Chains A and B, each alone.
Chain A
Amino acid sequence: MSIDTSKVADSNKTAATAKKKLPVGAVAEWADDRLGLATMMKKNLRKVFPDHWSFMLGEVALWSFVVLLLSGVFLTFWYVPSMGEVSYQGSYDPLRGVEMSEAYASSLRLSFDVRGGLLMRQMHHWSAMIFIAAMMIHLLRVYFTGAHRKPRELNWVIGCLLLFLGTLEGFTGYSLPDDLLSGTGIRAADGFMKASPVIGSYMSFFLFGGEFPGDQIIPRLFTVHVLLIPGLLLALISAHMLLLVYHKHTQWPGPGRTEHNVVGYPMLPVYMAKAGGFFFIVFGVTALMGGLLSINPVWLFGPYDPSKVTAGSQPDWYMGWPDGLLRIMPGWESTVFGHPISWNIMIPILIMPPLMLTLLMMLPFLESWITGDKRNHHLLQRPRNAPTRTAVMVALMTFYGLAWAAGGNDLIAITFGLSINQITYFMRVAIFLGPIIAFLITKRWCISLQRKDNETLLHGYETGIIMRSPEGGYSEKHLPVSADRAFTLTARDRDPDVTVVESGTDANGLEPKSNPLEGIRRRLRTTMYADNIQKPTLEELEEGHHHAEHEHELQAAMDGVSADGHQFDGHHLVDDETLRPDH
């Protein structure tokens, strides 16, 4: 191997040290005398981080959070969290003399009378949207690549909590300007609370300080938005990062990479530069969006008034899926001893979201219970190599996506000239059928891709050169993939054998089920593994190579010619060559 071994760290206890001594400043000495930072920095400054674009999705969320903190603090210097009534006398004329809350008036002031205020408002709102979207695609990446398995299950749970809290934070945040659109959302939230059995009206009265709308909700949401949830977010993000650093990042399998090492770039200087640079990029893109793309134009909505509403009343995108479920739900309400049980609100809002969140958090534990796999996993899996897991998440995404689309059914209706009634009827059926169909299609697709991988391993890659035999038959010339690529394709676990033997114990020697739960587990485990295509064994691979060599013998006469198929593996270059050497 020709790697520069002078920089290899033999273990995690000693750092990869540079051979020459660096000059150390007086300030650094002063600090270390009191804080002893050198010990910690020794271990961590050369920490290795693997490099792949899909590992940066969580960073988008992290840096968006920083942007949120910075822009949010700016806004708090002008925003007034009060529902006291004022008559607007600011510079936005179409609202002059209109009665509104101080919160709304201060939002108008930020938008029109504070230079850079509207920019900051919009940056704050855009980065909130991006924060949650980034958390979501980060979650998808982690799940699809199997990075949620042991030892990272706790980090997964923390991540799910971050997603949930981020959503709440966004909801409280966009309600603060007390405009017509977000106020309608709060009105709906009050309806949700009132629909809760037994304690509903109490919850509503305690939150609003009496009947809706009262004058307490905005100041209270302000406290939640600026103090409580950011505190929780900061704590959880710190825990999330600490665990990531402690466990070290997962990596894709490949040459030189194993379950016991991390291959990549050191924190200082490369990773710091890339992460730090990315922070500026996220910040910069958010600023560009905040300056060029209008978002939440509260002056057009007008102040909240319980007797006014706008068409196209939707919450921000991340609340879209519960809104969609609410829209497609039929109007079921039963009466129990004279008390209403509002299924039409409880199911989409009070039952489904906590259920989905719990399901999401339990995914790694469910998976390890079903598979029985208690090993540590630091190498990632390609989604195709875990077909059932991938299909499950695609089914969940389909459910989420359909509910999300249902939340915009009126806008879909006017954009595409459809009937909202038909869209609702369609969604009521699709929300059940869609995930099932998506699961089946995805699983089959993954298995097909596994087959394709195996073909590549056994027969080589398709060169695009078509050969014709003397008898007239056409075939495509295949060439073997490089050793690195071949290794990468095989660098995955073989799935356990789930065939059940007649005598009662299965191929792994396990006893027959002792309780009904165990029986379900066995069946689920079989579903997970039974249809998957495994990587070829040594014998199969050798057989495949043998065949390939045989083919190559027959085609040896073609070697060296421009159409021998070696153009893409660097074996020979084709400049100044003609297709047929004779002509």
Chain B
Amino acid sequence: MRHLNRSANSLAGRLSRHRRRPVAGALLLLLGLVLTGTLYSAFSPASAGSAENNEELVAEGRQLFLVGCSFCHGQNGEGVGTANGNHYGPALVGVGAAAVDFQVGTGRMPMVQPGQQNPTKPESYTQDEIDALAAYVASLAPGPAVPEEGDFSLAGLTEEERTEAVARGGLIFRTNCTACHNFAGKGGAMPRGGYAANLSDTEARYIYEAMLTGPGNMDNFSDGNLSPEEKRDVIAYLYTLRDQPAYGGFTLGGLGPVSEGLFAWVAGIGVMVGFAIWIAAHTTRSTKQKDGTAA
């Protein structure tokens, strides 16, 4: 996990143990601040063409939050409970920017109606607005941050390393993910009307964030469970599945034997029976007689 503020300070701490001159302390503090600022601006989530700094972003996010989210999630993201101990919207303290980017970016939030599970739908916010919301929620308490492109891309790896990553990703996928999401990532059923989503069109960033934050009933796959490299490998495998051709012909939905059985009956038996009906049907009849005269 990336704790942006800590890294620069620990650098400054270690250095200061070996320097005793007073101005060195001040210089080092300055160095530390400069380093912090640089690192922050290098690693912060990129918004398209936005020049806002963090404070403005958080403020904008809070405004958006009050309008669109606080009804269920509370004015300070503390959650809104019901009388029997459930809640309308859970507390968002500590869920991190990643959770917000995922939920709002895939359109799951704002939730249109209460129910077992919130489906994806067209986003209600622009990416800038999502970034603002994410910044606000991240400001409530430390939580998982939005991943960078570099976290889940295979750029910089050799061909062989890429192949290894994809193969390992497949192993990890089949160990941790296929039980819910199925072998091709097409999704699966969960109790009481819930479901694991179809991953065929999900962006890499959202897959990463989902693993990291465990949205809804999905488990967490925190970095202590699946390391960032493993997450990257899983995403690489999923993208390979998407890119690879359907070697055997049209895929019938990637749902396994159930759809295959349906096709066997409808296409297979249906066509065979159709031919059988044709074979045994009466052919055209003529009113003429064999010697050429009419009947």
Per-position 1/0 for A352-385, Cβ under 8 A of B: 0000000000000000000000000000000000
Residue in A closest to B194 when the chains form the complex, CB atoms: A419
Q: Which of B104-119 contact A (CB under 8 A)?
A: 116
Contact between chains at A292 and B249 (CB < 8 Å): yes
Contact between chains at A129 and B247 (CB < 8 Å): no
Task: Find B260's partner among A60, A291, A313, A317 (CB 8 Å cutoff).
Answer: A317
Alpha-carbon distance between A409 and B244 when the two chains are bound, in angstroms:
30
| Complex interface: chain B residues within 8 A of A285 (CB) | 268, 271-272, 275
The minimal Cβ–Cβ distance linking A508 to chain B, given in whole angstroms, is 40
| Complex interface: chain A residues within 8 A of B174 (CB) | 180, 302, 305, 308, 310
Q: Which of B242-260 contact A (CB under 8 A)?
A: 244, 246-252, 254-260
Q: Which of A236-295 contact B (CB under 8 A)?
A: 274, 277-278, 281-282, 285-286, 289, 291-295
The minimal Cβ–Cβ distance linking B58 to chain A, given in whole angstroms, is 38
Q: Tell me if A300 counts as interface (CB < 8 A to partner B).
A: yes
Contact between chains at A302 and B279 (CB < 8 Å): no
Per-position 1/0 for B260-281, Cβ under 8 A of A: 1111110111011101110111
| Complex interface: chain B residues within 8 A of A296 (CB) | 257, 260
Residue in A closest to B260 when the chains form the complex, CB atoms: A295
Contact between chains at A129 and B193 (CB < 8 Å): no
Task: Find B272's partner among A52, A282, A413 (CB 8 Å cutoff).
Answer: A282
Contact between chains at A122 and B248 (CB < 8 Å): yes
Alpha-carbon distance between A410 and B244 when the two chains are bound, in angstroms:
27
Q: Tell me if A112 counts as interface (CB < 8 A to partner B).
A: yes
Contact between chains at A312 and B182 (CB < 8 Å): yes
The minimal Cβ–Cβ distance linking B167 to chain A, given in whole angstroms, is 5
Contact between chains at A314 and B258 (CB < 8 Å): yes
The minimal Cβ–Cβ distance linking A75 to chain B, given in whole angstroms, is 15
The minimal Cβ–Cβ distance linking B158 to chain A, given in whole angstroms, is 14
Alpha-carbon distance between A317 and B246 when the two chains are bound, in angstroms:
22
Per-position 1/0 for B183-220, Cβ under 8 A of A: 11011111111011000000000000000000000000
Q: Tell me if A130 counts as interface (CB < 8 A to partner B).
A: yes
Alpha-carbon distance between A8 and B274 when the two chains are bound, in angstroms:
32
| Complex interface: chain B residues within 8 A of A574 (CB) | none
Residue in B closest to A408 when the chains form the complex, CB atoms: B258
Contact between chains at A293 and B182 (CB < 8 Å): no
Contact between chains at B276 and A301 (CB < 8 Å): no
| Complex interface: chain B residues within 8 A of A122 (CB) | 248-249
Task: Find B189's partner among A51, A286, A301, A311 (CB 8 Å cutoff).
Answer: A311
Q: Tell me if A137 counts as interface (CB < 8 A to partner B).
A: yes
Residue in B closest to A297 when the chains form the complex, CB atoms: B248
Task: Find A300's partner among B184, B196, B252, B260 (CB 8 Å cutoff).
Answer: B184
Contact between chains at B182 and A93 (CB < 8 Å): no
Contact between chains at B163 and A96 (CB < 8 Å): yes
Given contacts A294-B250, A300-B241, A311-B180, contact A421 B192 (CB under 8 A): yes
Residue in B closest to A130 when the chains form the complex, CB atoms: B268
Q: Tell me if B171 counts as interface (CB < 8 A to partner A).
A: yes
- Residue with the greatest number of chain A CB neighbours at <10 A, chosen from B163, B179, B189: B189
Q: Is chain B's binding surface mostly helix, strand, loop or mixed?
A: helix
Contact between chains at B183 and A310 (CB < 8 Å): yes
| Complex interface: chain B residues within 8 A of A313 (CB) | 256
Given contacts A51-B280, A310-B256, contact A293 B191 (CB under 8 A): no
Alpha-carbon distance between A414 and B256 when the two chains are bound, in angstroms:
14
Q: Tell me if A470 counts as interface (CB < 8 A to partner B).
A: no
Q: Tell me if B178 counts as interface (CB < 8 A to partner A).
A: yes
Contact between chains at B167 and A421 (CB < 8 Å): no
Task: Find A133's partner among B190, B237, B255, B269 (CB 8 Å cutoff).
Answer: B269
Given contacts A94-B240, A98-B167, A411-B189, contact A308 B175 (CB under 8 A): yes
Q: Tell me if B149 counts as interface (CB < 8 A to partner A).
A: no
Contact between chains at A302 and B170 (CB < 8 Å): yes
Contact between chains at A60 and B269 (CB < 8 Å): yes
Alpha-carbon distance between A307 and B174 when the two chains are bound, in angstroms:
9
Contact between chains at A312 and B272 (CB < 8 Å): no
Q: Tell me if B145 counts as interface (CB < 8 A to partner A).
A: no
Alpha-carbon distance between A285 and B269 when the two chains are bound, in angstroms:
10
Contact between chains at B248 and A274 (CB < 8 Å): no
Residue in B closest to A419 when the chains form the complex, CB atoms: B193
Q: Tell me if A325 counts as interface (CB < 8 A to partner B).
A: no
Alpha-carbon distance between A274 and B277 when the two chains are bound, in angstroms:
12
Q: Tell me if A167 counts as interface (CB < 8 A to partner B).
A: no
Q: Tell me if B166 counts as interface (CB < 8 A to partner A).
A: yes
Contact between chains at A295 and B248 (CB < 8 Å): yes
- Residue with the greatest number of chain A CB neighbours at <10 A, chosen from B116, B196, B268, B275: B268
Contact between chains at A413 and B258 (CB < 8 Å): no
Q: Tell me if B164 counts as interface (CB < 8 A to partner A).
A: yes
Residue in A closest to B170 when the chains form the complex, CB atoms: A94
Alpha-carbon distance between A414 and B191 when the two chains are bound, in angstroms:
11
- Residue with the greatest number of chain A CB neighbours at <10 A, chosen from B250, B256, B273: B256
Residue in B closest to A125 when the chains form the complex, CB atoms: B260
Given contacts A60-B276, A301-B183, contact A111 B247 (CB under 8 A): yes
- 7 chain-A/chain-B pairs, Cβ below 8 angstroms: A130-B272, A285-B272, A293-B248, A294-B248, A308-B174, A311-B181, A421-B191
A293-B252, A311-B179, A414-B189 given. 15 additional CB < 8 A pairs? A94-B240, A94-B244, A118-B248, A130-B268, A133-B268, A299-B247, A302-B174, A311-B178, A311-B181, A312-B258, A314-B256, A316-B260, A410-B188, A420-B191, A421-B192
